[in-house]
Amino acid sequence: MKKLVVSKKYNNKKLDKFLKDNIDNLSNNLLYKTLRKKDIKINGKRISENVTVFESDEILVYIPDNLLESNISLDVVYEDKNILLINKPANIEVTGNQSLTNIVHKKYSNCGFLPMPCHRLDRNTCGLILFAKNNEALTILLDKFKHHEIEKHYLALVYGIPKKKYDKLEAYLFKDSSKSQVYISNIPKKGYSKIITTYNLLEKYPNNTSLLDIEIETGRTHQIRAHLAYIGLPIVGDGKYGINEVNKKMKSKYQKLASCSLKFNFINDSGILNYLNGKEFKICINLNL
């Protein structure tokens, strides 16, 4: 049983939002099954609906602990005393509650420094995530990402065939945080930031899809997904910027986008990480399944 008290932050918010933010590994299926069984009490009253909660509400959730254990194991691609490189599956955030970082912290809970992610991927984008295993490495890597001294490539399965085999796309992106969505413009506008996305066509398929190698010079929220959709090449499986009919037809639950390679191209001295300069890590991912 879990006993929780609603904080001011969640006043007048939905129960599912509060519980998912405050109970690790609570899935939608488990939450709504628990609601149907009336195994949740608010202020002593059993409920069966996703009601609104208020500050100071006392909530009892009757879920066995074993059902809340994460079934995601860490797919470690490379590890040494300074860094940890993990192949992140889709359907998990990098940070926050119920995240990849939570799982990493539990595994490394006895270490003096809890490994920290140096960059991000969208929840439903899979692939390489780099963690620093000490504060000195974290400081160096954050600086290297900021100055584009770490080269990242992505694979994207898109609906449509690009007219050019290679293109360097420039546009402007606006992030609407309230809707968790971004918008693209081909001309500068107030509140919009410049984005640069480069693609190489790797394969063309008979079902009007193609496989692209993507590199971004700017790392804006949803940049790859929104930019490709803007030029008429939406990523297969993308529920936000893609085409729902195509996603259903191709039975794609998550966007077919993966961070597939990472290369260290250090220009300046990198202290304890100098040994990584020139190294490249790749993973094989088949997005055309």
Q: Where are the domains of the chain?
A: 2-68, 76-149+266-274, 154-259
Shortest CA distance to 261 belongs to which of 214, 198, 205? 214
Q: Establish whether domains 2-68 and 154-259 are of one fold.
A: no
Active site (annotated) includes residue 122: yes
Q: Which CATH superfamily is domain 76-149+266-274 in?
A: Pseudouridine synthase (3.30.2350.10)
pTM given for the model: 0.78
139/143 Cα distance (integer angstroms) = 6
User: What pLDDT, on the 0 to 100 scale, is given for residue 111?
Assistant: 87
How are beta strands 40-42 and 150-159 bridged, if at all?
unpaired
CA atoms within 13 A on the CB side of 171: 22
Fold classification of 154-259 (topology level) = Pseudouridine synthase (3.30.2350)
- Partner residues linked to 61 by β-bridges: 2, 40
As given in the structure block, the two tokens for residue 204 are 């063309």
DSSP 235: B
Strand (E) positions, 15-117? 40-42, 45-47, 52-53, 58-61, 76-79, 83-88, 116-117
Model confidence pLDDT, tens digit, residues 123-157: 999 999 999 999 999 999 999 999 999 999 999 99
Active-site residue, selected from the candidate residues 122, 143, 167, 269? 122
For position 288, what pLDDT does the model report?
73
Q: Which residues contact 105 (CB under 8 A, 6 or more apart)?
A: 114, 115
- What is residue 115's DSSP assignment? -
Q: Looking at the domain that runs over 2-68, which CATH code has it been given? A: 3.10.290.10
Cα angle value 81/84/90 (rounded, 5°): 170
The pLDDT value recorded for residue 289 is 60
Q: What is the pLDDT along the chain (289 residues), one digit of tens a residue?
A: 889 999 999 999 999 999 988 887 787 888 889 999 999 999 999 999 999 999 999 999 998 877 776 667 799 999 999 999 999 999 899 998 778 999 999 899 988 899 999 999 999 999 999 999 999 999 999 999 999 999 999 999 999 999 999 999 999 999 998 888 999 999 999 999 999 999 999 999 999 999 999 999 998 999 999 999 999 999 999 999 999 999 999 999 899 999 999 999 999 999 999 999 999 999 998 887 6
Yes or no: say if 85 and 77 are a contact pair by the CB < 8 Å rule. Answer: yes
How many residues make up the chain in this entry? Answer: 289
Q: Up-side HSE of residue 196: CA atoms within 13 Å toward CB?
A: 4
How far is Cα of residue 215 from the mean position of the Cα atoms in its chain? 17
> DSSP H helical segments within 95-203, as ranges?
100-107, 135-146
pLDDT of 1 reads 83
- Rounded Cα–Cα distance for residues 76 and 267 (Å): 27
